[in-house]
Amino acid sequence: MPRIACLWVPDLPLCAAVRAEPQLAGAPLAVVQAGDLGGRAHVLCATPIAEGVEPGQTLAEARAICPSLVHRNASPERERAAAQAAVEAAGAVSPRFEEAAPGLVYLDAAGLSKLFGDDRAVARALVAAAERVGLRAAVGVAAGKSLALLAARAAAPDLTFEVTRHGLGGGAFRVVLPEEQAAFLAGLPLLALDLSDELQQILRRFGLQTLGEVSRLPPGPLAARLGPEGAILWRLARGEDATALTPHPAPERFEEGEELEWDAQSIEPLLFLWKALLDRLEQRLRSRGLMARELLLRLRLADASWDERAVDLAAPAREVAPLLQLLRLAVEGRPPESGVTAVRLCAVPVPEVLDQLPLFGPRGASPTQLAAAVGRLSALMGPDRVGQPVAPDRWTPFAAEVARFAPPPPPRAPEAPPPVDLELAARALRPPRTAEVRCDCAGTPLLVIGEGALGGRVVASAGPWRTVAEWWTDAPLAVDSYDLEIAGGLLLRASRELSSGSWWIEAIYD
């Protein structure tokens, strides 16, 4: 027996507004759609606190009815993010889900009993998952998609208006068991279905008011009079739902967006905005057990163009503070050319890596902790200054680069460390320090005049060793290298460029 659950978010614009600004939940709030070409704004939906305010009223009418009314313009960015959050809430319960419309998701509830329990527990888990991402959802569970949607609509009157720390709460659910299906359908009015106006009028002329009355009619004559729509309606009235679930792949990106009512010219208002967006992204990623591998920032500028930039993360992370710092660094380093009117943040997810803590040994760094630490260090000093050290695959003395830090898993049985040879190491000077070197007639260095302690009489030297690099290019690099001991004990690696004769100190032996 197939079981389909339907997650429906009624009043999606209102949920999106409260989700973005939770402090509005206690106020009489209405979301309005601004009219085209300076036309009147109309109310789309309103909170129950705004008594008397109904959808379709103009803003002036609504204000006359409720003087303390707070209104927000409908924001496509917010609604898009809220609809995505609804999809992710469904994905947190079942891997097979289908988004039929913004704020309307079907999912396969068969086989979830081992995870959650019976259908009621699955519905309860869906309501809770929606609340975790700041949405108030009506959930229906039945044998098919259409029936599940009818069940969700039947649950809508039970919705309450509760404020949670994530946004709106107070979801409700209705479960239609197979043995209750006939009774449930028999009492449903035909207005509960999305029928065309023409079909509604025909059925009204026939004197039909409920699905139960339709189910008692003979199917052949009904189809003959009403066409294919009549046959579908008759089957639905009898609980025969033939529409199949078409699961969609999981979203590859998690997006949150916000529009500004004015052009942000400085970083401070953007920081407030990013903090709220990152908070919501973090909730969504956490609810799915994911982390952000990469962060994409899109800024809509005052001239309606988009400024896109990718914030490279040294390791997967979802902690808000370091991500916020990284965003700040990314924008401060290259400010947008004009004011910002909208912001869109997109996280490319990767699965969270969990490891088994040791029973008896000392607790090491978990992948999550490592990722957070790398993120914090990147935010502190810049992402290009943190990572795994690697030697570049080219000839450059003492060159080093950083790569993404991805340590291998720890060994199963830690062994005693093998012996390590203590060798004189070179401390690279980046960039190499220029110096003036006096030599004798044979070319042996005698005196180094360098900055700070990097100077003095040469007491011992070895070299030169000639190296010619990049000889295949138009500007080959040819240098003579020397090991020098300065009076006072400093051991240096110095080089002289043959073409210009300039000297520089590349490293100190220590």
Partner 1 sequence: MHLNQCLARSIRVTLPARRLEGDPRALEDLLRTGQVRRAPAVSPGTPRPLSTGVPRLDAALGGGLVRGQLHEIVAPPGAGGTALLRASLGAATRAGELCALIDPADAFDPRPAGIDLRRLLWARPLDPVQALRAAEIALEARFALVALDLAQMGPAPRRPRGMIQVVRFEKRPPSPGASPWTRLARRAEKHGGALLVLSRTVQVGTFASATIELERGPSLWDGAPGGPGRLLRGVRAVGAVSRHRRMPPSSPLPLHLPLEAP
Binding test (CB under 8 A) with partner 1, winner from 310, 354, 390, 487: 390
Q: Does 388 bind partner 1 (CB under 8 A)?
A: yes
Count Cβ atoms below 10 Å from residue 26 Cβ, excluding itself.
12
307 burial type by CB count under 10 A (0-12 exposed, 13-18 middle, 19+ buried): middle
Q: What is the DSSP string of 68-126?
A: T-EEEE--HHHHHHHHHHHHHHHHTT-S-EEEEETTEEEEE-TT-TTTT-SHHHHHHHH
**C-alpha torsion 425→429→435→439, nearest 10:** 20
User: Using CB under 8 A, which of 34, 191, 381, 446 touches partner 1?
Assistant: 381
Distances (CA, A) of 384 to 269, 388, 408: 27, 11, 21
Residue nearer to partner 1 on the CB measure, 218 or 389: 389
User: What would the x/- binding string for partner 1 be over residues 428 to 467, using CB under 8 A?
Assistant: xxx-----------x-x--------x------xxxx----
Distance of closest approach, residue 299 Cβ to partner 1, in angstroms:
27
**Burial class of residue 56, CB neighbours in 10 A (0-12, 13-18, 19+):** exposed
Distance between CA 482 and CA 494 in Å, rounded?
A: 5
Minimum Å gap between C-beta 490 and partner 1 is 5
Q: Is 495 in the site for partner 1 (CB under 8 A)?
A: no
- Length of the chain in residues, anyone? 510
Cα 225 to Cα 236: distance, rounded to the nearest angstrom: 17
Please identify which residue in 189, 423, 441, 474 interacts with partner 1, judged by CB under 8 A.
423
Q: Does 425 bind partner 1 (CB under 8 A)?
A: yes
State the residue for tokens 């609340």: 131
Residue 468 makes contact with partner 1 by CB under 8 A = no
Residue nearer to partner 1 on the CB measure, 211 or 490: 490
Residues 392-421 that bind partner 1 (CB under 8 A): 397-398, 400, 402, 405-408, 410-411, 414-421
Q: Which is nearer to partner 1, 309 or 376 (CB)?
A: 376
| Residues with Cβ within 8 Å of residue 481, at least 6 apart in sequence | 397, 463, 464, 465, 466, 467, 493, 494, 495, 506
By beta-carbon proximity to partner 1, the closer residue of 388 and 434 is 388
Each residue 322-361 as x (binds partner 1 by CB under 8 A) or -, in order, gives --------------------------------------xx
By the criterion CB under 8 A, which residues form the site for partner 1? 360-366, 369-370, 372-374, 376-377, 380-381, 385-391, 397-398, 400, 402, 405-408, 410-411, 414-430, 442, 444, 453, 460-463, 483, 485, 489-491, 493, 507-510
